[in-house]
Structure 1
Amino acid sequence: MEIGVPKETKDQEFRVGLTPSSVKLLTQNNHVVFVETGAGMGAGFSDRDYLAAGAKIVDSAAIAWDRELVVKVKEPLKNEYQYIQAGQLLFTYLHLAADRALTECLVKSGVTAIAYETVEFDDGRLPLLTPMSIIAGRLSVQFGARYLEKQQGGRGVLLGGIPGVRPGRVVILGGGVVGTEAAKIAVGMGARVQIIDINVERLAYLETLFGSRVELLYSSPAQIEAVVPEADLLIGAVLVVGKKAPILVNRNLVKQMYPGSVIVDVAVDQGGCVETLRPTSHTNPIYIEEEVVHFAVPNMPGAVPWTSTQALNNSTLPYVLKLANFGLNALSKDAALAKGLNIKNYQIIHPAVQEVFPDLA
């Protein structure tokens, strides 16, 4: 099969769909990989590295896209819509619930689109979302600590505090992978950490990880209203597979937060769980609304592309290989991959996306 790897076009997105080592395995299996020139530079991989792995380097995105299977990292942007073709396989993060324009484009194009974030095991685990969730969770506290600095617009709080001065308060909405990883970093910094989650079993599991170092609270409107105003750093880590994140923090509650406190919402690519949130970018990562700093970059792991590209490929490569070897028949051979199918034959296939866009289903 011919496989295309275009250069990412999202703002400061330095990850790449396939590493040279992934390309080497694919070429050893008699597939031909076309990599757009410079696609891997941001992640530390040169055109020469890809050539040594057996790839063909092409001069334009159009040539890389003109393949049976296209492997990317982030969803196609409007300037890439022109390259999407009927009969083509597209394998990447899509997050369609928050992007009607892209959903309409994919339905009209006739492409078969498989989303990393909805590939799902029977037990509910999301193998292709997890590695980026780990990274985004850890980065959320790293970025949050930075923007709490006075020079960055924050209230000037050191998360770890010092003897005689209280540590910063970190409130995490959601105790899944993102929330757990955020808590690890926040605890390591010495912050006072609270996790709010609606799943009692998950809270019990988190107690085995953190003991008394993290305050574990059951999610309810009253509980959220009680803790959010006291947060120096609020982290949104809410995920509903395939759907928009629910709004848990309304504008009035944001108004009650300290001036200069910081909100980092990792779920922004699914709409975010804070009413005042809107997507930002690595070039312009923050804005201030209701005197609170908002950080809402949808592609946070793009800040550490050397790490995140390899982490992503470790998880996606087995599925890329199946798609290359078997084409659409791979979906009947792998139940988890089949759940990743979002668009096929001019129709929305994934139930959660159908629910968001019933008029397009």
Structure 2
Amino acid sequence: MHIGVPKEIKDQEFRIGLTPAAVRALTDHGHRVAIETQAGIGSGFSDQDYIEAGAQIAPDAAAVYEQPMVVKVKEPLLAEYPLLRKDQILFTYLHLAASRELTEALLQSGTTCIAYETVALADGRLPLLTPMSAIAGRLAVQFGARFLEKQQGGRGVLLGGVPGVASGHVVILGGGIVGTEAARIAVGMGARVTILDVSLDRLAYLEDLFGSRVELLFSTRQTIEQVVPGADLLIGAVLVTGRRAPKLVSREVVRRMRSGSVIVDVAVDQGGCVETLRPTSHSAPVYIDEGVLHYGVPNMPGAVPWTATQALTNATLPYVVKLAELGFPAATDHDPALALGINIAHGRLVHPAVQQVFPDLIHA
């Protein structure tokens, strides 16, 4: 199999789809890998590192997209749409539910699109989403603490407090991987932490994990309306696989939050769970609405590419190898988890969750 890895062009996205170690694993199996020049620099990998791993260095994105399989990190952007080809495999994060434009472009391209975020094991775990969710959860508190600083426009709250002064209050909507990792960091900083979730089993697990250090509440509209206004930092950590995130926090609730409080919505990739939240970027990460700072960067792990690229590739490489060895559809026929990653095949929208978001595109 010939595999192409382009340079990411999303704002300040410094990750790359494959590390040199992953390239070596592929080339040792007889596959050819073309890396766009300078694509790995942001993650700490030079063109020479890739050459030594057996890769060829492509002069531009066009040369990379000539390959039968393209491995990326983030969804293609407008400039990349014309480069997509029929009978090509695209393996990357897609988050189609958040973008009709992207979904339509991929359908028109004829490319077979397999999304990292919907590859799912039999027990429901999402092996290719988990490492980035863990990083995003940890970063959510790190960024939230930063924007609570007065110089950044925040309330001037130190999450951990000091003796004689109350700690900051972190409210987390969702107790999955993102929420758990956010709580882990917030507790470590000494913040007062509340997690809301709709799964009693998950809340029981979190009680075993955190004990009395975290307040655990069953999530209802009334509970959200009661708890969120008192948050210094609100973290959206809601995930419904393949679908838009539900809008759990209304504008009215945001209006009741204290001026200078911060919202970090990790669910922004899937449309966000806060009504007032819109996507931002690493270059302009926050804006103020209803007196509250909103952080909506959809590629948060791009801020720590040295860590994130390696964590992502550790998870994706077995699936990349399987696709390279068997091709499509044999690889997905052989692996049920990988089959669930198929969002678009042969110009048709096939993932049930995305079909529910765009029912008119099913037979487009």
The Cα shift of 1:89 comes to 0.2
Q: Deviations over 1:135-172 (max 9, x none)?
A: 00000000000000000000000000011100000000
Match of 1:272 in 2: 272
Give the 3-state SS of the residue equivalent to 2:327 in structure 1.
helix
Q: Which runs of 4+ in 1 moved over 3 A?
A: none
Match of 2:137 in 1: 137
> Within the alignment, does 1:353 sit opposite 2:359 as a pair?
no
Match of 2:250 in 1: 250
The Cα shift of 1:108 comes to 1.1
Aligned equivalents of 1:208 and 1:49: distance in 2?
44
Aligned equivalents of 1:75 and 1:309: distance in 2?
15
Aligned equivalents of 1:98 and 1:135: distance in 2?
21
Report the AA paired with residue 140 of structure 1.
Answer: A
The Cα shift of 1:66 comes to 0.8
Aligned equivalents of 2:141 and 2:129: distance in 1?
19
The Cα shift of 1:191 comes to 0.2
The Cα shift of 1:109 comes to 1.1
Q: Deviations over 1:289-345 (max 9, x none)?
A: 000000000000000000000000000000000000000110011000000000001
**Which aligned pairs between 1:188-227 and structure 2 lie closer than 5 A?**
188-227=188-227
Q: Deviations over 1:64-118 (max 9, x none)?
A: 1111000000000011001110000000000000010110011111110000000
Aligned equivalents of 1:171 and 1:109: distance in 2?
42
Aligned equivalents of 1:174 and 1:58: distance in 2?
42
Match of 1:43 in 2: 43
Give the 3-state SS of the residue equivalent to 1:57 in structure 2.
strand
Match of 2:338 in 1: 337
**Which aligned pairs between 1:1-361 and structure 2 lie closer than 5 A?**
1-328=1-328, 329-361=330-362
Report the AA paired with residue 13 of structure 1.
Answer: E
Report the AA paired with residue 229 of structure 1.
Answer: P
Aligned equivalents of 1:152 and 1:10: distance in 2?
24
Report the AA paired with residue 281 of structure 2.
Answer: S
Aligned equivalents of 2:58 and 2:327: distance in 1?
23
The Cα shift of 1:26 comes to 0.4
Report the AA paired with residue 267 of structure 2.
Answer: A
Aligned equivalents of 1:83 and 1:41: distance in 2?
23
Report the AA paired with residue 153 of structure 1.
Answer: G
Report the AA paired with residue 348 of structure 1.
Answer: L
Report the AA paired with residue 351 of structure 1.
Answer: P
The Cα shift of 1:348 comes to 0.5
Report the AA paired with residue 352 of structure 1.
Answer: A
Q: Deviations over 1:121-140 (max 9, x none)?
A: 01100000000000000000
Residue identity over aligned pairs, in percent, reads 69
How does the TM-score come out when normalised to structure 1? 1.00
Report the AA paired with residue 312 of structure 2.
Answer: L
**For the aligned residues, what is the CA RMSD?**
0.4
Aligned equivalents of 1:110 and 1:271: distance in 2?
25
The Cα shift of 1:218 comes to 0.2
Q: Please say which of residues 208-217 and 102-111 is displaced more in the overlay.
A: 102-111
The number of residue pairs the alignment matches comes to 361
Report the AA paired with residue 356 of structure 1.
Answer: V
Report the AA paired with residue 323 of structure 1.
Answer: L
Q: List alignment gaps of at least 5 residues for structure 2.
A: none
Aligned equivalents of 2:126 and 2:58: distance in 1?
33
Aligned equivalents of 2:179 and 2:205: distance in 1?
13
Report the AA paired with residue 241 of structure 1.
Answer: T
Give the 3-state SS of the residue equivalent to 2:359 in structure 1.
coil
How does the TM-score come out when normalised to structure 2? 0.99
Aligned equivalents of 2:295 and 2:261: distance in 1?
11
Give the 3-state SS of the residue equivalent to 2:269 in structure 1.
helix
Aligned equivalents of 1:345 and 1:9: distance in 2?
26
